Amino acid sequence: MSIKLVVQEEPMGCAIACVAAILNLKYSNAKKLFTNPKHAYGRGYYCKEIIQALGKGKKNYEFKKVTEKTKDLLNRNGTIVFIGGSEKYLCGHFLVKGEKGWMNPWYNYPKIAPAKAKFQKKFPGEAQWVIYSID
């Protein structure tokens, strides 16, 4: 699976950008897969909502809390990880693992315009949830 760079276009749209990267879609098309697209401006998305969107794109995913038993899942290509709130990402942030590193859909946050996506070698936070393929 080839992961492409996708910039998140809304304040809480990192989940949409990660889904777009996995499904090889434009951000706007991936947003249509989410039941409530307005959450990209407010509360963001939860793991279950991301799995439902990926399912609409014909991908089978599950999620688990990151523990010693599940941390190996973080190394799988196409895995989405939620990092907990930090000094940089106050509300947390979703990234997706690609061959080139971690696809961060808003690498230059808190700069508002233009937001930029980038592959990072170093994981920028503490992983709390992992969303992984079961295909």
Q: Total domain count for the chain?
A: 1
Is 7 among the domain residues? no
Q: Domain range spanning residue 75?
A: 14-133
Residue 5 has pLDDT above 80, yes or no: yes
pTM (two decimals)? 0.95
CATH number at residue 97: 3.90.70
Is 121 among the domain residues? yes
Task: Please report the pLDDT score of residue 124 as a whole number.
Answer: 84
Instruction: Write the pLDDT tens digit of every residue in 54-95.
Output: 999 999 999 999 999 999 999 999 999 999 876 767 678 999
Distances (CA, A) of 85 to 82, 88, 105: 9, 8, 16
Give CA–CA dist 45/51, Å, rounded: 10
**Could you tell me if 129 and 80 are in contact, meaning their C-beta atoms sit under 8 angstroms apart?**
no
Is 91 among the domain residues? yes
